[in-house]
Amino acid sequence: MGKRFVDAPETREGRVVQRTIELVAGGILLLFGVVLLGFAGWGFGGLAWASIRLGTLPPGGAFPWTVLACLLAIAVFATQVGFRLVWNRPNTHGSLLSPAGWATLAFVFVGIGLASSIAMVRSGREIPIGLDFGFLMFALPCLLVARRLRRRSRGPR
State the pLDDT at residue 55.
81
> Are 51 and 113 within one domain?
no
> Are 120 and 43 within one domain?
no
> Are 81 and 96 within one domain?
no
> Are 72 and 115 within one domain?
no
> Are 86 and 109 within one domain?
no
> Are 84 and 108 within one domain?
no
Residue ending a domain, among 90, 113, 134, is 90
> Are 95 and 141 within one domain?
yes
Tally of structural domains, the chain: 2
> Is 94 exposed, middle or buried (CB count within 10 Å of its CB: 0-12, 13-18, 19+)?
middle
Q: Considering the entire predicted model, what is its pTM?
A: 0.63
Find the domain containing 123 and state its range.
91-157
- Count other C-beta atoms under 10 Å from residue 58's C-beta: 15
pLDDT tens digits in sequence order for the chain, 157 residues long: 445 555 556 777 877 888 888 899 989 999 999 999 999 999 888 888 888 888 877 777 777 887 888 788 888 888 988 888 888 887 777 787 888 888 888 888 888 888 777 777 777 877 777 777 888 888 899 899 989 988 887 766 5
> Are 12 and 67 within one domain?
yes
